[in-house]
Structure formats: structure tokens, C-alpha cells
């Protein structure tokens, strides 16, 4: 266990295995905080062969006595939160004291999901190249309201008067857009208001001042882990804009989305998959639409944990990883799904791009430049052995060790944890 306050972030386009690494760390931390994103996330933890998928609850929930915080930077989908709490298995009897939901978190309302779908359909009709392929969870429209200062916050769900006023105003702006721009039926104030109050009654016991919870835990010297959702390349500022999500997924996001002075972050953990995947639209230089991609998808079970969509797959991209290391200031890497590469006929890594005939080693954080990037590959010796039972680095075949060592050299960051299977026990620790 490294520093007391740590940020864990995805180094690629999401689904790197953040959930399982949070679970691995959760046995030692006291507090786990989600600080951005919403129910677009799907974080999988497998314990004793049983799969748990967290969309909104922090992935530390499976360990007893951990305080799990949903910070102000999260966009909260109460319907999903209630479902997730009710479906927790085994149900933690102490959830009332273990879950803290920020009063300042913005609420994803049904109209946000409607607008998300309608906007995607509008793009498809008017400019198919601009479709994002969102998760349909209302994320973008909810953040729009937040920054437009017309959003509904968790605290409003337990305050009928302010809720009524805010919701009326909000809907009176939204309905003309739904009807006149998108040709959709309007949303109904009464049913949304009633539903919001029901959500409020359920959520009230969990509402708290999350900044105070976090600050007090840090002050007490507890181990606090910030659990990033999505990934660096989906960050609204640093990702492949416009094919990104609506929040700051990078490590810096935890300072604003969870209330933390930047100087308090003791260690940044980057979670990186041994190859690359992406769900939704947008450039992906190493995508393989042939046999290699198919093989990675099949063996890696690369289907979305939130939407079930097949993930696009391809080789590891070091240009992108070096960029993720840079914008997050990563101190250590957790390398997941190394076992998926066992038995490949070939093994390649993108070391640079060629853009307009020129070699480029710096990741262009613009979708338009990245669309033109052709990967320059280096080949590595593949290995045939099943590595899922390997308990230490030394037990790995030499070709797998070489692959890991190369990633360390080329990224400049140590690999402290290696995933050789989805289960809690399928983990190699190297001074993590
Ligand atoms: P997250 O969103 O970053 O938490 O990742 P997801 O849960 O969406 O996707 C990761 C998938 O890979 C899940 O199905 C995990 O159970 C699985 N997984 C994670 N680490 C490993 C690993 O080291 N090996 C294998 N085979 N599967 C893994
Ligand atoms: P986790 O936390 C992978 C992608 C969507 C789409 C884009 C915008 O499990 O890694 P949004 O619904 O956020 O407006 O969609 O971002 N996306 C993810 N891809 N993993 C995720 O989360 C994602 N969350 C959003 O597919 O391309
Ligand atoms: Mg996921």
C-alpha cells in the first residue's frame, strides 16, 4: 500500500479493469470515493467466481466497514442507485453508515436520458460522423444542466419547494427543445416531480457533506482511494474530443469532484489493459477489425458491462499510454488482462504513429488528428502458456515478463500489479 491518499484512473478508453484493482486495494483502504461520471460506468469485481458490477456505488462496497462516498462531481441516477443498493448481495447490514452521497451531486433526471437518446438520433440523421455512441445514461445532458446552473442536485430531492421551482423552470426550457428540435413528445412535470420525491425519501439517509467526510478521513490519516470512472482518453478535456464523456476522468478530477487539495494526492495509479479496447465511436488507431480483434474480444469477454455492446479491440498503444502517464502524473501501473494474450500467434505494440507521412511520438489529443494516425508497430515474442495460475512475476513465462518489462521501460512507470484473471485471487502483486 502506497500513500494515504491515492487516485486510481483508467489509462485508456475505459474498461481497463479499474473495479478489480479498486477491490484489490480496498482490503487496506478506509474510504473509497467516486468523483466523476455516473451510471455510464460499469466496474466489475469477481469474488469467489461471483460477478458484481458497480455502476454508481464505489467498488469498495464488497469489503465490510469501508466508507463509500459518491462525491459532488458524480452525476447521480437515483433509479440506478436504488437498484444497486437493493441488489447488493450479500446486503451489507451497515449500508446506512457506510454510504455517503454528496448533497451537491447533480441528479440525472428522466429528461436527461430522453435528451441523450434524442441528441444521438439527431446527429445520426444530420451528420452521422458526429454520433458519439453514448451509453444513453443521460450523462452529457445532466452535466450540461450543471454547467448551465439549472441542474437538480441531490439536496433538492428532499426539499419539495425548491425541487418544484427548479424542475418547473428546467422542464419549461427542455420541452420546447424536445418537441421543436427533436420532434419528441414533451416530458411531464407531475410524474417527474412525484418520482423525484420518492427517490429523495429513499436517498435521504445517505445524503451528506461529502467534502467534509473526505477531509475528515484525510485528517485522521485514513487511507482514501479515489476511484476514477471511464478513462483518460474519454476525459472531456484531455480525451479524444468530441468522442468523450462529459467529465474529467483524469486524476485531477478528484480534487474538484471529491474536494481534495491537489497536494494531498500521494500516489496516482494508472490502470492499463494489456491491449486496447473502446466502446462507442471515435478514433482508435490500433483497432483491429479482423481476426486479432475478434480473438481479443472473445478471449477477453470484451462486451460492455453497462450496455452489453461489443467492445472494439486492438493492440496496446504506447503513444496513448505515455500520454496518459503524462496528463495524470502516474506513479505506478496496474496491468490487467495479461492472461488474455496467452496463446496469441503474434504480439504487437504500437510504438509511434505516422501522421501525414511523418513519425509522431506524441499523442495528439484531438480526434481529427488522431483519425489520420497510422500505428507503427513493434513485434514481441508471444507465449503459449496459460498464465492464470501464476502467483508471482517470476512464475510468468519469459516472453510475458519481457512484455511487462517493455511496458515499464517505454512508459517510464513501474508495473506494480498484474491481472492474470478476473478473480480477486488472480492477481500478481509486485510491491503495490
Ligand atoms: P472497469 O470499467 O475499468 O472496471 O472494467 P470492466 O469491469 O468494465 O471490464 C473489465 C473486464 O475484464 C471485467 O469483465 C473484469 O472481470 C475482467 N477483468 C479484469 N481484470 C482481468 C484480468 O486480469 N484478466 C481477465 N481475464 N479478466 C479481467
Ligand atoms: P467504465 O467506468 C467505456 C463511452 C461511451 C461513449 C462515450 C460517451 O466502465 O470504464 P457517455 O454515456 O459517457 O456520454 O458516453 O464514453 N463510455 C465508456 N466506455 N467504459 C466506460 O466506463 C464508459 N463510460 C462512457 O461508450 O463512447
Ligand atoms: Mg467498465
Q: Which CATH architecture has domain 5-95+209-429?
A: Alpha-Beta Complex (3.90)
Alpha carbon dihedral 115, 134, 105, 168, in 10-degree steps, equals: 0
pLDDT at 316 over 70: yes
Cα 376-381-384 angle, rounded to 5 deg: 130
Helix ranges (H only) for 44-138 are 78-87, 95-98, 110-126
CA angle 8, 10, 11 (to 5 degrees): 120
Q: Report the C-alpha gap between 311 and 284 in whole angstroms.
A: 12
In the block, cell 451531486 appears at: 105
Q: Is 422 in the pocket of ligand 2 (CB under 6 A)?
A: no
Question: What does the alpha-carbon distance between residue 334 and residue 64 come to, in Å, rounded to a whole number?
Answer: 24
pTM: 0.97
Domain 106-205 CATH (choose: 3.10.530.10, 3.40.50.300, 1.10.300.10, 1.10.520.10): 1.10.300.10
- Check pocket membership of 59 for ligand 2, CB cut-off 6 A: no
Ligand 2 atom closest to residue 15's alpha carbon, by position in its atom list: 10
Q: Residue 308 has what pLDDT? A: 87
Q: Catalytic site residues?
A: 15, 43
Q: How many C-beta atoms surround the C-beta of residue 31 within 10 A?
A: 24
Mean predicted confidence (pLDDT) in 55-83: 95
pLDDT of 67 > 70? The answer is yes
340 φ/ψ sector (left φ>0, alpha ψ -120 to 50, else beta): alpha
Provide mean pLDDT across the span 57-74. 94
| Cell of residue 193, nine digits | 416531480
Residues 279, 312 contacting (CB under 8 angstroms): yes
Which of 9, 12, 24, 44 for a ligand 1 pocket mutation test, highest count of atoms within 8 Å of Cβ?
Answer: 44
Q: For 21-63, how does the pLDDT look when each residue is reduced to its tens digit (9 = 90+)? A: 999 999 899 999 999 999 999 999 999 999 999 999 999 999 9
Cα(402) to ligand 2 centroid in Å equals: 32
Query: Count of CB atoms within 10 A of residue 235's CB?
Result: 27
Task: Give the count of beta carbons closer than 10 Å to the beta carbon of residue 123.
Answer: 15
Domains of the chain: which residue ranges? 5-95+209-429, 106-205
Residue 1 has pLDDT above 70, yes or no: no
Distances in Å between the alpha carbon of 419 and those of 113, 274, 425? 35, 9, 9
Amino acid at each position: 500500500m502506497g500513500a494515504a491518499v491515492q487516485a486510481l484512473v483508467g489509462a485508456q478508453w475505459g474498461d481497463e479493469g479499474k473495479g478489480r484493482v479498486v477491490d484489490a486495494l480496498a482490503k487496506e483502504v478506509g474510504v473509497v470515493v467516486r468523483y466523476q461520471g455516473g451510471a455510464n460506468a460499469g466496474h466489475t469485481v469477481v469474488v469467489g467466481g461471483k460477478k458484481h458490477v458497480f455502476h454508481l456505488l464505489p467498488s469498495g462496497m464488497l469489503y465490510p466497514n469501508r466508507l463509500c462516498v459518491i462525491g459532488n462531481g458524480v452525476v447521480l441516477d437515483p433509479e440506478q442507485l436504488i437498484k444497486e443498493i437493493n441488489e447488493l448481495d450479500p446486503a451489507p447490514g451497515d449500508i446506512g453508515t457506510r454510504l455517503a452521497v454528496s448533497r451537491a451531486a447533480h441528479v440525472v433526471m428522466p429528461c436527461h436520458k430522453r435528451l441523450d437518446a434524442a441528441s444521438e438520433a439527431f446527429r445520426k440523421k444530420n451528420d452521422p460522423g458526429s454520433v458519439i455512441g453514448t451509453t444513453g445514461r443521460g450523462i452529457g445532458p445532466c452535466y450540461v444542466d450543471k454547467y448551465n446552473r439549472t441542474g437538480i442536485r441531490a439536496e433538492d430531492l428532499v426539499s419539495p419547494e425548491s425541487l418544484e421551482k427548479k424542475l418547473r423552470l428546467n422542464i419549461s426550457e427542455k420541452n420546447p427543445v424536445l418537441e421543436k428540435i427533436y420532434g419528441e413528445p414533451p416530458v411531464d412535470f407531475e410524474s417527474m416531480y412525484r418520482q423525484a420525491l420518492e427517490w429523495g425519501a429513499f436517498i435521504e439517509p445517505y445524503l451528506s457533506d461529502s467534502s467534509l467526510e473526505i477531509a475528515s478521513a484525510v485528517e485522521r490519516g485514513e487511507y482514501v482511494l479515489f476511484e476514477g470512472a471511464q478513462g483518460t482518453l474519454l476525459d472531456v478535456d484531455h480525451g479524444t474530443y468530441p468522442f468523450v464523456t462529459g467529465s474529467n476522468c483524469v486524476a485531477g478530477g478528484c480534487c474538484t469532484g471529491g474536494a481534495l487539495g491537489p497536494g494531498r494526492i500521494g500516489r496516482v495509479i494508472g490502470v492499463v489493459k494489456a491491449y486496447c479496447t473502446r466502446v462507442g465511436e471515435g478514433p482508435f488507431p490500433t483497432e483491429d477489425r479482423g481476426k486479432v480483434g475478434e480473438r481479443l474480444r472473445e478471449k477477453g469477454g470484451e462486451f460492455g458491462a453497462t450496455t452489453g455492446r461489443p467492445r472494439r479491440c486492438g493492440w496496446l498503444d504506447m503513444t496513448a499510454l505515455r500520454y496518459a502517464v503524462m496528463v495524470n502524473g502516474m506513479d505506478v501501473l496496474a496491468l490487467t488482462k495479461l492472461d488474455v494474450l496467452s496463446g496469441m500467434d503474434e504480439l504487437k505494440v504500437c510504438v509511434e504513429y505516422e501522421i501525414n507521412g511523418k513519425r509522431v511520438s506524441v499523442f495528439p489529443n484531438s480526434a481529427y488528428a488522431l483519425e489520420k494516425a497510422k500505428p507503427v508497430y513493434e513485434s514481441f515474442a508471444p507465449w503459449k502458456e496459460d498464465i492464470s495460475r501464476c502467483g508471482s512475476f517470476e512464475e510468468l513465462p519469459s516472453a510475458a515478463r519481457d512484455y511487462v518489462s517493455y511496458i515499464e521501460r517505454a512508459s517510464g512507470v513501474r508495473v506494480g500489479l498484474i491481472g492474470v484473471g478476473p478473480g480477486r485471487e488472480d492477481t500478481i502483486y509486485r510491491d503495490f
